[in-house]
Every structure is written in structure tokens, then in C-alpha cells.
Structure 1
Amino acid sequence: MKQPLDYLQNFKNHAWLIGDDSQEFYQIATELYFQLIELSKKAIPPKIILAEREPVRFLASFIAACAAKCPVFLCNPDWGKNEWEQVFNLVQPDIVWGLETGDWGLGTGNNNLSAISNSIMIPTGGSSGKIKFAIHTWETLTASVQGFIEYFQLNAVNSFCVLPLYHVSGLMQFMRSFITGGKLVITSFKEIESQRIPNINHSDFCISLVPTQLQKLLQKPELTTWLSQFETVLLGGAPAWEELLEKARFHHIRLAPTYGMTETASQIVTLKPDDFLNGKNNSGQILPHAQVTIDNLTGNILIKAKSLALGYYPQLWENPNNFLVDDIGFLDAEGYLHIIGRSSNKIISGGENIYPIEVESAIRKTNLIIDVCVIGIPDKHWGQALTAIYIPKNPNTSILEIETHLKDKLSKFKIPKHWISLPNLPRNAQGKINHPELQKIAEDFLAHSSHNS
């Protein structure tokens, strides 16, 4: 298998970064690689925290660390004090790149063997308040790229990246372009919203979005037209709602809804754009590097994949070949995966099992709200009381009006008992709800309401 240094040499005189300096990438990566090799001669390879804000420097540092076989921890420079305390206590780094430490920040790590050699640690679980690092390797990330190009029958992948590079969704866009010799555009979503867009042939590029980003783009006709030019618009990070998918289909967006996670190095199931445009609404078929089965008893999804992580730092999984996830779903006769919900999100109210995704979908279809999340709040009578936290399209919309729309769409026990209107919902950069924060908001609101009444 080709290693990072082999690919790096291929890019020596190749202008593959659109809008950025490809030569700068090569020079930084080469310089840092040799510095790391020198450091590694004196001791075992140093543990590196990578929190560079500047994209070219982030990617060059990443490749240097991988080439020198140093354990590297990808980090969000915008984490707060609490998150950084967690990370430094867990990692105890030898080197810190970024965090205003200068080009070459040396930490005070205890350079021990607890970091798995030649590993890439990708953060996950930040929305729950507790950060974990999935342990990947160059081989697991490469397997993900291989599965992607086989599935889409591509030789080179040109990527248009608006997602964070420290997150698996941004990193894998870089990996696909780097390994296949494709082109890469890196910009921010704010730049796109402001219509400061690089002049490229978009039909040669793939772009990855999360549902909230797609929703914002479809609200502006000129950006909708722009998005329709892409060959493939990968959509992941959080479940998409039916109204959003229908709107994308109406505007002939070549959407590819995906199913995957940090632990699988991005998607392992994807719906191809032609299937989407022909009316299919599911997560698609399984990529060649993965196997997906359904647990007969629980309905939970079981994953085997060449791209599967080895564990959560610093522990390796005892049985890494069978990864049972929280998601519940089924495979239809044609091998398409349908996600029903998450077992941990299941709400039991009055003895009835309720999956929030079904209730949220029905509420969205009323066209009276902008965003919604359904959760269960502890309740003496019901066990859990179904609670909808939502952003109304019109502040004057009454709860009774929403409930009236739902009466013939949902069973009575699936209609929320509490409704809380907010100006916005706490979501992270990938569009995922911060459930602990939302739970606290709802419980505080309901306690205050009951106190006042």
C-alpha cells in the first residue's frame, strides 16, 4: 500500500489546491516531516495535537505526522476550556500545533507508549459534552477512499470542502483528493452564503453538506442554481427530513444521502444521485469496503468494514470486527438501508415506544416550523412526556394550529404533550443537536412554567 510520503511526492509540482498555494502545502509538509523524523530518532514518535486554524497548514501538518508515523490527534481550535482540559488530560501531548503556540509548539507530554503508534485520532462525541477520539490508521482511511471510488466508479475525486478538516466529514474530502490525485477546494460555508465562490467547473466536483447547510442554500435561488451544477452533493452528519429532500429533488440537486460515522471513516452506505432523483428516500446501498447486517432481536445495525476504527483512545476494541451501533434500521429486498431511529433516543411514554424521527418528520410537514427536535422529559404520570422544542416560521402560530395538522398524521400518543418555542436550537457544525443542552433547556422551561402556574 502506498504511504503518505509516496502521495506527497506526486504533488511536488502539481497545482491541486484550488484557491490555495499547492507548493506551500508541499514545503510545509516536507519541512515538518524531517523535523519529526529527527525528533523520533531520540525517542519514540511524539504525540501531536493538531489544532491549526489555517487549512493548508492543517493538512500539511497532518500529512507530515502521518508520514513520520507519529500519533496525531485532530482537534477543534474553537473548543472551550472544558473540552481542552479533557483533551490535554487524556492525550498528554508532546507537541501542540496551533492554539496560538507558534509554528512549533512543544508540549510537556510524558511521551509514553499509551498512544498507538502510527495512528490518527479523530474526535467524536463533542455534541454530548464528552470528547472521544476514534483510533484510525492510514490504512482505515485509505480503505474508505477505495470503497468510495469503487462505488462511484471514479479515478480521481475532486472535492469542494466547506466542512471542518478536523472532523471526519472534512478530512475524508481531503483524503479522497490526495490519494486519487484529484483537485481540492477549501472554503467556508460563510463564503458560499456570501456568494464568494471559486470559478471552477462544478460538474467535475463532489461537495459534502449537512442538512442545515442544504436548507440554507435552498432558500436562495442563485445558490440553489449553483448547487445544482455539482456532479454529487453528499449529505450526511444528521438525518435529513422529507420536506428538505423533496425540495432538493424538485430543484434537480444531485443529492447522495449517506450513512456513516467517525468510527467508519465517513460513509459506508450511500444513495446514488440518480436513485435519489428517481424518487428513492433512504440511505442507499452498502459501499464495497463494508458489510452491514441487522440484529434480528433488536433491529440495531451491525457493521464490519475495512475502514472501521480500532477503538477509542487509548483503548483498542476487543472485537473490532463487529461494531453494533445505536441506530435501528432494515435492509429492503434491493439492499437499500432504511434508518428508523436510534435506540437511545427511543421515548417510552405511557408504555408506548416512540421514535422522535417520525414525530419530527410529521411536525416538519405542517410547514409551520423552521426546525424541531422531539425529546422525552421525566414525568410522574407518563414515565416520559413527549416534548417538542421548535422554531416557528411565524411567531403568531399557535400550538393548537400545529396539533390540528398532526391529528390525522400521528397516533394520539405520538403528539407532543409539551411545546417549547425557541429562537434557535443548539446544533454543532455538523448539524447535530446538543441533546444534553436541549434537555436542560426543556426541563428548566417546564419547571419554571409549572412553578408559575
Structure 2
Amino acid sequence: MGSFIYNNQNYTFEQIKTGNWFIKDDYIDQTFTFCKNWLNDQEEFELQTSGSTGTPKKINISRSQMEVSALATQSFFKIEPDSKLLVCLNTRMIGGKMMLVRGMKWNANIYLTKPEVNPLLLFDENQKIDFCAMVPMQIEACLSDKETAKKLSNIKILIIGGAPSSADLIDRIIQSKINAYQTYGMTETVSHIALAKIEGSELVYRTLPDVRIGTDDENRLWVEAPMAKEKRLQTNDLVQLIDTHSFKWIGRADFTINSGGIKIQAESLEAQLGKYIHPIYGNVSFFVIGQKDQKLGEKVVLFIETSSKEEKKAQELLTNLKENLQKYHCPKNIYFLPEFVKTDSGKINRTKTSQICF
């Protein structure tokens, strides 16, 4: 039987099942309350979608959906019983909850740490971890610190979700020889339904066992998965289908910018921009979006999360972009904000952020 480990204290699954924990801590209390409900065979759980591409909504997820998802991931990675899992995501959200479910279904030893930007700072470097999930922001923070970069590379299997990894981050992961996988999924499928091993600049996603995929007439991905309630989920993600079990992700159809009749995929453009933005502004967050334009229909504009508004820097960036990007791909304006609007799960809310300036 597995256990939970927090602040060097061990709690058996049986202790949590009976509500026998004595920690006055909001994070641990809400984490263990979910685990208690799970261990007492609660059949349904209410979860909230991230709201990164629309209005956040609450949905009900069944126990069986979560169990199927956890077992499919176990099968994909061939995880053994008594493995060691590190849970460092927000356990109010589906990503964190699914890490808890995996640990309980796998009879694992579950190490808990609060969802900090760099969750490995206080973690014992001698403690071996078999499986862990992080968001890109956490990976970047870990890699920026020499000690935590070493701890990160010691994790046997690392999965990355919540948002796509930038081209720069992918390069750093490969250079650091980290065994990492980018995930693809949604709340409706209770976490990922496909994973892409990070070993090259182009990510190829492969589905979990028993997951079927295809595309509609507009090359938007549909998913048939045993961990989803709906028989077929139609997504708004543009993909390049390789075969019935693998695909390359292009981006969100609703993030497509039509500028002068040229269709520009926001995420694909963003993957090119980091190498021009980061040398000038550092490791900042950014995104592009289409702004209404009388002549072009839409024009590409760039948002950068920074307090720096030096005209010289902005001009240097624009010059570099004009010299290296195609005409319609080059941002026509740059907006600087000290902080982007984020969803509860930490994703950038593009619509609400852009509304500050438009």
C-alpha cells in the first residue's frame, strides 16, 4: 500500500481515508479532503475547466473516467507499483487531482509539495522520483537554477502540461537530457489523451491505449476516448494527422489570424518569436493575437509581459522581426503590460489581456 509524504512526515492511505491528518494548512487540507473522498469511493467529482480559450465552466467527472485515464498512463509508461510520484501542481485543478489519482491507483509513494514556481528548491536532491507533472513555467524556473536543474534531470519521467512548451524551452530540455513528454488533453478527457516525447524541434503526439483520433473537413482534431463521457469530442485544435494513433499539433483554430487573406497560426508564429524577444527582454511571457484592421481585416499584434517600455528596445525588436519574418507575420504593434491576465490554472487569458489595450 502506498503513502503520502509531506514535510518528511508519512501518511498511509488508510490514515487519509479516515480523515486522520493533523496539519493546519489550506493546501494540504483541500488536497487530503479530495484524497479522502476518493479513498472512500466517491463516484463523481466537480471540476472547473481552465478558461484559457473560453468561459470557465464546471463539469462533473466520474470516478471511472479518472481511473481509466490513470491506468492508461500507467500502461503507456509501464509504471511499476510502489513508484515514487512528485505532486507539485495545483490540486484544485484537474492536473493536480489526476496526479493524486494516479498515485492512489498505482499504490505509489506520493511526495507532496506546494505548487510553487520552482517546486524543487526545497526538495531533497537525493530523493529519486519516478514520475512527475509540471507546467512550462515550473520547468523554466527549475532549469534557471543550477541545483534544481540537476534535480529535474534526475526525475525518471517528466510530463509537461497546462500549456505548450516554447521552442526555447524544448531546446533547453533536450540539451539538459531530461526524459520529458509534452501532453495533449483537456478537462473533458480528464487530463491527457496523447503524449509527445521531447527529443526534437517537431513534437509527434502518440495516443494512450484505446484512444481513437481523426480530423474533420477543416483539419480539426476529434477524439474518441474511454476516459471521456462523450462518444466523440470535437476539438478546435488544428493538427496534422500522421496515422490513427499519432499527430502533430498546429494550434487553435480560434487563434488563427487572417491578415490580408493570409492565414497565420498564432502558436506557430510564437514558436519563432522567442529567439528574438528573449535576448532583449529576458525570459518573459508573450503572445500574438489578431487586432481588427480596416485595410488587412486583421493585423498581427504582439503582447509582452514586462515593465520595461524603453523605446530603444522596442525599436530593436521590431527591426529584427521585420528583417527575419514574412511581411504579414511581422507584428504591426507591440503592447507592453507588467502582468498578463491569467486563468486559475495559470494559463494566459489572451482575450482578457488584449482587452486591456484594445
Write out per-residue CA displacement over residues 275-329 of structure 1, whole angstroms, 9 at most, x where no aligned residue.
x34x35315211114222222x111010111111x3xxxxxxxxx1110011111
Partner of 1:436: 351
> Equivalents in 2 of 1:411, 1:191: separation in Å?
35
Partner of 1:426: 341
Q: 3-state SS of the aligned residue for 1:164?
A: coil
Partner of 1:225: 150
Task: Judge conservation of contact 1:378–1:385 (CA < 8 Å) in 2.
Answer: yes
The TM-score normalised by the length of structure 1 is: 0.70
Q: 3-state SS of the aligned residue for 1:407?
A: helix
Partner of 1:271: 196
| Equivalent residue for 1:386, pick from 297, 300, 312 | 300
How many correspondences in the alignment?
Answer: 349
Matches within 5 A, 1:59-98: 59-66=31-38
Task: Judge conservation of contact 1:69–1:119 (CA < 8 Å) in 2.
Answer: no
Q: 3-state SS of the aligned residue for 2:184?
A: strand
Write out per-residue CA displacement over residues 348-399 of structure 1, whole angstroms, 9 at most, x where no aligned residue.
2222212111221222121334221111222333322321011469754533
> Equivalents in 2 of 1:289, 1:231: separation in Å?
25
Is 1:159 the counterpart of 2:85? The answer is yes
Partner of 1:133: 58
Q: 3-state SS of the aligned residue for 2:48?
A: strand
| Equivalent residue for 1:58, pick from 14, 17, 30 | 30
Q: Which has the higher strand share?
A: 2
| Equivalent residue for 1:342, pick from 241, 252, 263 | 252
Task: Judge conservation of contact 2:125–2:151 (CA < 8 Å) in 1.
Answer: no
Partner of 1:410: 325
Task: Judge conservation of contact 2:259–2:300 (CA < 8 Å) in 1.
Answer: yes
Point out where structure 2 has 5 or more consecutive residues left out of the alignment.
none
Partner of 1:332: 242
Partner of 1:253: 178
Point out where structure 1 has 5 or more consecutive residues left out of the alignment.
1-10, 33-51, 71-117, 311-319, 444-453
Residue 189 and residue 55 in structure 1: after superposition, are their counterparts in 2 closer, same or farther (change >3 A)?
Answer: closer
Is 1:186 the counterpart of 2:112? The answer is yes
Shift of 1:235: 0.8
> Equivalents in 2 of 1:173, 1:200: separation in Å?
22
Is 1:306 the counterpart of 2:226? The answer is yes
Shift of 1:262: 1.1
Residue 227 and residue 121 in structure 1: after superposition, are their counterparts in 2 closer, same or farther (change >3 A)?
Answer: same
> Equivalents in 2 of 1:162, 1:419: separation in Å?
34
Query: Which one-letter code corresponds to 2:34 in the other structure?
Result: F
Is 1:206 the counterpart of 2:131? The answer is yes
Is 1:362 the counterpart of 2:269? The answer is no
> Equivalents in 2 of 1:431, 1:31: separation in Å?
30
Shift of 1:145: 0.9
Query: Which one-letter code corresponds to 1:150 in the other structure?
Result: S
- The higher radius of gyration belongs to 1
Partner of 1:104: none
Is 1:237 the counterpart of 2:152? The answer is no
> Equivalents in 2 of 1:240, 1:27: separation in Å?
38
Write out per-residue CA displacement over residues 388-423 of structure 1, whole angstroms, 9 at most, x where no aligned residue.
011469754533322332235432011111111222
